[in-house]
A and B are shown apart, each in its own frame.
Chain A
Amino acid sequence: MSKVPYEVQTEPVQPLSVLSPDGEIVNKEYLPELTDDQLKEIMYRMVFTRTWDERAVNLGRQGRLGFYAPVSGQEASMVGSVYALNKDDFVCPGYRDMPQIVWHGLPLYQAFLYSRGHQHGGQIPEGVNVLMPQIIIGAQILHATGVAMAFKKRNEKRVAITFTGDGGSSEGDFYEGMNFAGVFKLPVIYVVQNNGYAITTPFEKQTAAPSIAHKAIAAGIKGVQVDGMDVLAVIKAVSEAAERGRNGEGATLIELLTYRFRPHSMADDTSKYRTKEEEGEWSLKDPIVRFGKYLEQKGLWSEEDTARVKEEAKASVNENIKKAEATEKMTVSGLIDTMFESTPQHLEEQKADFE
């Protein structure tokens, strides 16, 4: 059947992949330039993040952490994307994106405080360019757009990056943000971590579009689809998008195809909507295994290294959860004083009930 000439192109795109599941380079021209030390650092962060995730789930069961969205499976997507940025680039995360802001500079104990529902978790240290995780799906997309607008107005060579999931791409704010970025040609990167499910709702029930990357067409920005289990492909795509932003070439939508090995949240039961076969297929693409094979072939990594990093990560998690638990308790007066720059009379009066 011949194509209607005015029909918008809807063919599926081919995701960018650099590593095969066996750790072989399959797309040499997209191999990012990284030193051996950098490659090892990326692996360190991914193993650390996996260990932290495992520990966090246990800490949650023990009641030592509160709200927590598991990340296992998404290490390449999370670690790789911020690794590709500079320290002065700005990260607007969604609620699952704690690893990105921790690797961008937020102390781990503050991430734990955020999980425990302590205000100090959101008191980002000066010089760390992140917002705290956003609960309203889509809101962070507009914040990143505004941050990018600020960078552009000040002629700063910085980019903003924001993260949402496949479900988030159905929100109005997702489209509005990309559309503003298109019109104003903003240095911003919209990352959609497409793990196939929004809680229990599969991708096919979010959109009939062949990919989320296609949605960039509606905003007139660049859209790419990347193997989100391949950390080198993620780094390549985000680096290129950042460079485009810094060079005044505008925004990029990056769809990262990934999978969460764990439930959506601690209250979720994946057996009701996922099959063992599907989970098994994705586990073959484990980003840590795959990247580990690549590094082993290069003589840069061994099982002993993995074991060592796991121990380091466990020790760090222990230390940081203790620090979180030892943080001074919050007070209502303290909360009242953070509502406004100067506290209005009615709030001053309401403090009296709690003193």
Chain B
Amino acid sequence: MAQMNMKEAIRDAMRVELKNDPNVLVFGEDVGKVGGVFRATEGLQGEFGEDRVFDTPLAESAIAGMAVGMGIQGFRPVAEIQFVGFIYEALDQMLVQAARMRYRSGGRYNAPIVFRTPFGGGVNAAELHTDSLEGLAIQTPGIKVIVPSNPYDAKGLLVSAIRDNDPVFFMEHLNLYHAFRQDVPEDAYTIPIGKANIVREGSDVTIIAYGAMVHTAVKAAEQLEKDGVKAEVIDLRTLMPLDIDTIVASIQKTNRAIVVQEAQKTSGAAAEIIAQINEKAILHLEAPVLRVAGPDTVYPFAQIEKIWLPSPERIIKAVNNVINF
């Protein structure tokens, strides 16, 4: 075991998989020599060589499209898109070409690619560095979507993502890269894609969250406990496919739920989660399932992002609304 922050755990996942499988390649803008703008790939080129870990020209569509071409030839590309807002440049290759490869070739070809990208608010970043664009990928059949919330999960999920034979959009929250350290095994281990994690048990209300919002939800749950409300917090970890069974089991116990996401209210994953709860657990609900999310505006300029982002207070208010419904 070693103490790692999330960035180090992510780097370690790539390191163990570069070691395990000669077909794993890591590339993107500035990921090679300098080790990435967040140093998430630091040292990898030194250890594995320029043939395995390399810088590319500045063109996101070509980074993703080259990954597709290498993927059908048996390589396992881990392609980095430097910031989330730049995936728009690569959307055709990510969400059309990679996501459809298995389907449109009837299984003849596949795209075993991980598209890593940092995202997430609260760090005073420039425009289009922090948007929560997971909803775009969730709505696109053929690609899996993972958003880890801690170092241990990040490593296990990234190892799983690299070994998965289908494309994965792996979103790394900027505010979690250096937020805290955790014990992380030094060898390769996996966490199954599509399995949620109950990070805090409770019996009065279920708070469903992912990414940085897991920690905001836990803060709210701690405060709620002081008021005598026991909140269960579910960290989804994977948004596609969704672990609806864990959500339903929790609601059968608590009969109340809210979904917390950093994305705008009509973006992200919350609406789909609520629709599935309606289909599978309506008779267990004592109140409607509410959303705590960013308002439906463009992601705000840095000056007001801390007010814009969901806070423990807004979560507590939503919990009180479903409890007092």
Interface residues of A (CB under 8 A from B): 90, 92, 119-120, 122-124, 131-132, 136, 139, 141-151, 153, 160, 172-173, 176-177, 179-180, 183, 335, 338-341, 344-347
- A339–B103 touching, CB < 8 Å: yes
- In the complex, are the beta carbons of A122 and B73 less than 8 A apart? no
- CA distance in complex: A85, B41 (Å): 39
Partner of A345, one of B68, B108, B241: B241
Instruction: Flag if B75 contacts A150 (CB, 8 Å).
Output: yes
Among listed B59-67, B217-225, B284-292, interface-contacting one: B59-67
- For residue A136, which residue of chain B has the nearest CB? B92
Complexed CA–CA distance, A154 and B289 (Å): 53
A85 → chain B closest CB, angstroms: 16
- List chain B residues, Cβ under 8 A from A139: 65, 92-93, 96-97
Name the CB-closest residue of A to B194. Answer: A344
Closest to A124 in B: B108
Task: Tell me if B141 is interfacial: C-beta within 8 Å of chain A.
Answer: yes
Closest to B105 in A: A122
Partner of A142, one of B62, B75, B245: B62
| Chain A hits for B75, CB < 8 A | 150, 153
Q: Which residues of B contact A (CB under 8 A)?
A: 25, 51, 56-57, 59, 61-62, 64-75, 92-93, 96-97, 102-110, 141-142, 144, 164-166, 194, 241-242, 244-245
Select which of B25, B56, B62 is within 8 A of A173 by beta carbon.
B62
Interface centre among A179, A339, A347 (most CB of B within 10 A): A339
B243 nearest in chain A by CB position: A345
Contact of A136 among B72, B97, B245 (CB under 8 A): B97
Q: How far is the CA of A128 from the CA of B69 in the complex (A)?
A: 16
CB-nearest residue of chain A to B65: A142
Which residues on the A side are within 8 Å of B70 (C-beta)?
146-147, 149-150, 153
Q: Are A143 and B68 in touch, CB under 8 angstroms?
A: yes
**Across the interface, which residues of A come within 8 angstroms of B105, CB to CB?**
122-124, 131-132
Q: A173-B62, A176-B62 are in contact. List 5 more A-B contacts (CB 8 A).
A: A123-B108, A147-B72, A180-B59, A338-B107, A340-B166
B73, A150: Cβ atoms closer than 8 Å: yes
Interchain CB contact under 8 A, A338 and B103? yes
A contact residues around B107 at 8 Å (CB): 123, 338
Most chain A Cβ neighbours within 10 Å, of B73, B96, B105, B165: B73
User: How far in angstroms is the closest Cβ of chain A from B33?
Assistant: 15
- Chain B residues in 8 Å Cβ range of A90: 73
Residues of B within 8 A of A145 (CB): 62, 65-66, 69
Alpha-carbon distance between A270 and B281 when the two chains are bound, in angstroms: 59
Residues of A near B67 (CB, < 8 A) are 146
User: Given the complex, which residues of B lie within 8 Å of A344, measured CB to CB?
Assistant: 194, 241
Q: Main secondary structure on chain A at its contact with chain B?
A: helix
B66 and A180 form a contact (CB under 8 A): yes
**Residue A339 contacts which of B51, B97, B109, B142 (CB distance < 8 angstroms)?**
B142
CB atoms of B241 and A346 under 8 A apart: yes
A313 and B75 CA atoms in complex are apart in Å by 39
Other-chain residue from A143, A151, A339 in contact with B72 (beta carbon distance below 8 A): A143
Assembled-state Cα–Cα distance A149/B68 (Å)? 11
A residues in contact with B109, CB < 8 Å: 124, 131
Are the CB atoms of A150 and B74 closer together than 8 Å?
yes
A341 — nearest CB in chain B belongs to which residue? B165
26 contacts between A and B (CB under 8 A): A123-B106, A123-B107, A123-B108, A124-B109, A139-B96, A142-B66, A142-B69, A142-B93, A146-B73, A149-B70, A150-B70, A153-B51, A173-B61, A173-B62, A176-B65, A179-B62, A340-B102, A340-B142, A340-B144, A340-B166, A341-B110, A341-B164, A341-B165, A346-B241, A346-B242, A347-B241
The 4 residue pairs across chains A and B that have the minimum distance between CB atoms: A146-B69, A142-B65, A150-B73, A344-B241
How far apart are B50's CB and chain A's nearest CB, in angstroms?
Answer: 11
A173 & B106 in contact (Cβ 8 Å cutoff): no
In the assembly, what is the distance between CA of A132 and CA of B61, in Å?
A: 20
| Bound CA–CA A183/B8 (angstroms) | 30
Contact across chains for A146 and B68 when beta carbons are under 8 A apart: yes
A347 CB contacts on chain B under 8 angstroms: 241
Identify which of B62, B69, B93, B104 contacts A122 (C-beta below 8 A). B104
Beta-carbon contact of A341 and B242 below 8 Å: no
**Do the beta carbons of A177 and B108 come within 8 Å of each other?**
no
Once bound together, how far apart are the Cα atoms of A241 and B88, in whole Å? 34
Q: How far is the CB of B130 from chain A (nearest CB, A)?
A: 25
Shortest CB-to-CB span from A171 to chain B, Å, is 10
Residues of A within 8 A of B144 (CB): 340
Residues on B with beta carbons closer than 8 Å to the beta carbon of A172: 61
Q: Which residues of B are found within 8 Å of A149, using beta-carbon distances?
A: 66, 69-70
Please determine whether A143 and B59 come into contact, CB atoms closer than 8 angstroms: no
Contact of A183 with B104 at beta-carbon distance under 8 Å, contacts A131-B109, A146-B69, A340-B142 already known? no
Q: How far is the CB of B62 from chain A (nearest CB, A)?
A: 4
Q: How far is the CA of A152 from the CA of B108 in the complex (A)?
A: 23
A339 with B106: CB separation less than 8 A? no
Q: How far is the CB of A246 from chain B (nearest CB, A)?
A: 16
> Are A341 and B59 in touch, CB under 8 angstroms?
no
**Do the beta carbons of A142 and B68 come within 8 Å of each other?**
yes
| Most A-side CB within 10 Å, residue of B69, B97, B110, B245 | B69
Q: In the assembled complex, which residues on chain B have CB atoms less than 8 Å from the CB atom of A131? A: 72, 105, 109
Residue among A120, A148, A179 making CB contact with B106, cutoff 8 Å: A120
User: What chain A residues lie within 8 Å of B97 (beta carbons)?
Assistant: 136, 139, 143
Contacts of A123 in B (CB 8 A): 105-108
Q: What are the residues of chain B within 8 A of A147 when measuring CB–CB? A: 69-70, 72-73
List the B residue with the shortest CB-CB distance to A178.
Answer: B62
Q: Which A residue sits closest to B66, measured CB to CB?
A: A146
